[in-house]
Every structure is written in C-alpha cells, then in structure tokens.
Amino acid sequence: MERVQSTNLHAYILIAIALFLSLSRPSHATKQFNVLSFGAKPNGMVDSAPAFVKAWDAACGSTDAAVIYVPKGRYLVSPVRFNGVGCKSLNIVFRIDGTLVGSEDYMFLGKEANWLSFERVSGVSVIGGSLDAKGPSLWSCKASSSNNCPAGATTMSFVECSRINVKGVLSLNSQMFHIVINRCRDVKLDDIQIVADGKSPNTNGIHVQLSTNVEIRNASIKTGDDCISIGPGTKNLWVERVTCGPGHGISIGSLGKDREEEGVQNWTVKNESGVRINDVIFYQGIRGTSATKIAVKLDCSSKTPCTRIRMKDINLRYANEAAQSSCVNVLGDSTLGNLVKPQACF
C-alpha cells in the first residue's frame, strides 16, 4: 500500500513539473523575415521597395512578434508605405544594418510626400541603419528658381501610430523633413543623427504635431531648417540632450512645413501643455537680422520651466539697434563661448 502511494506521488510530481515548464515557456516566439528572402538586392541599383512591402505583409500576418531584417549593403528604395490596418503582430521590429538610398534623380522620391511612411501601425520599432535620401539634387533644383521642382519627400513619417520606438537611426540629406510624428501617441526617439547641409531648404530635423507622449533624447541634428519643430496639438513632449546646429534651433508653434523661412529672423522657445525643454544646445552660425527687437525669446511655463539651455555663436541684430533677449521661467542655464548677441537673459 505504501509503495502504491509513493508511485502515485512520484507521478503527481512529474505532472506538476511538466505543467510548470509548459506555463513558463513564452507563448509566442519571434519570427524573422529577411528582406533578401523577398527579393531585395543590396547593390544599390535594383529597387527593393517591393521586397520591403512583402516582408512587411509577412510580418503583419504573423501572430508572433516579428523582426524584419535588413542586412548590410545599400538598398535602392522607392517611396513605400507600411500600413498597420489588419496587422496581427503587436510587435514588429525593423532591424536595419544596411543603408537605404534614394536615387540621384530627385523625382524618384520627390513625386511623393513621404519616402518611408508608417500609417496606423502600433508596436513598431525601427532600430539602426542609415537613410540617405540624396537630397542635394532637389536642393539644387530649388536654388535654380525652376518652377518644375517638386516639394520633395519627408524621409520617415509616422501618421496615426502608437507605441513607436526609433533608435540609432542616421538620416542623411533628406529632401524635406527628416522625421515627422503626426497624430501619434507614445513615441520614443533615441540616439538619432540627422545630417544635411546648413543651407538645405525646408529640411527640418524632427517635426511633431497633434501627438501625445513623445520623447526625443540623445539627438544630434545638423540641418538647414528647424532642428525640432513642434506644431499645434502637441502634448507631453520631452526633449533632452539634443545638440542642434547648424539649424534654426527648436521652434514651437510652427504652422507647418510649407512656411517659408529665410535666415534666422526670430528665435522663440515656448513651453506649454506639458512640453518640457531640458539640456539643449543652440549654436553655430546663428547670425542675421531679427524681424523684431526681441531676437531671442525663451517663454516657458512655471510648471515645466526650461533648464540647461546653452547658447553659443549667436549674433543677431535688429535694424540699427541692439537686439534684445527675453526669458520667462528659465532656470540653471549658461552660455558657451564669448559671442552671444543679444546677451543671454538668464
């Protein structure tokens, strides 16, 4: 009788262990989709956009977490849209080890509003990689005053998206804006590098509008227009450890990318609706004539004051008079170097 009870107890223990192991295993694996398997060519000559779309469709159709992998190489990619409607996977990662390039013919991208467009996606991450839009050919067209130049494409846009993570991405020579966040929620941008010529037109680094809970950290932005432009409807924005220049600094309240802007006329940083500006450097070649006597204005809220705003190499004039600066709720700030005109107000 004791032997039977011992055998039954041993069986119960084995069943319990098996049940524990089955419950402790992840219920879903991560599936990987290599764009080469869908026809992408890493030679920079054959349009790989159809392969990228096929890889996206396969990832969306998976009920597991998915990784779309772009190996090393150069991939010519025409404008492509990644649509999240009907996606089964709640976690899709674009892991890019290669470089995505546009064509030297600016019409290759310029005929569309966006180059890489994510629409109505949720739980998507873009990790690593370089995006070279070959913008100089379009900039030259615009500089020639030709009426046949298209407006150009934004390099990467997110529209009506949520839970977005962009990390370690290098954006080069965008035709227009580099990264646009529009009508999105819960977006994190980290370790972003943006590079374009200081005279490149309308090449805002990061534009945010009608979006909530957006974080921009550890960014180096060197471009020809606003480093970060913050449009209407932006709430709970955190900007931290951003190096800006060349460029027009951080603009809040911009009316949109069609606004024409020649030189630096007025520099305004506002802090409203939970927008938090912290540890930002504005510098390098900010010179010209201000349209108003207050050439540098930092207007922050008492609840979320601006902190560690550092200025360097600023020389702005107002007509034949000395320009002035204005500060409201600016704490713990400093200047870098000797040339800061008008004199900082903190």
166-193: b (≥16 Cβ within 10 Å) or e: beebbbbbbbbbbbbbbebbbbbbbbbb
* CA–CA distance, 306 with 13 (Å, rounded to integer): 61
Q: In degrees to the nearest 10, what's the CA dihedral of 47, 257, 220, 166?
A: -60
- Nearest C-alpha neighbor of 295 from the set 244, 257, 249: 249
Rounded to 5 degrees, what are φ and ψ at 23? Answer: -75, -30
* CA–CA distance, 114 with 177 (Å, rounded to integer): 9
* CA–CA distance, 264 with 267 (Å, rounded to integer): 7
* CA–CA distance, 323 with 341 (Å, rounded to integer): 7
DSSP 136-198: HHHHHHHHTT-TT-----EEEEEES-EEEEEES-EEES-SS-SEEEES-EEEEEES-EEE--T
80-83 and 114-119 as β-strands: parallel, antiparallel, unpaired? parallel
Q: How many CB atoms lie within 10 A of CB 46?
A: 13
Q: Which residues carry out catalysis?
A: 248
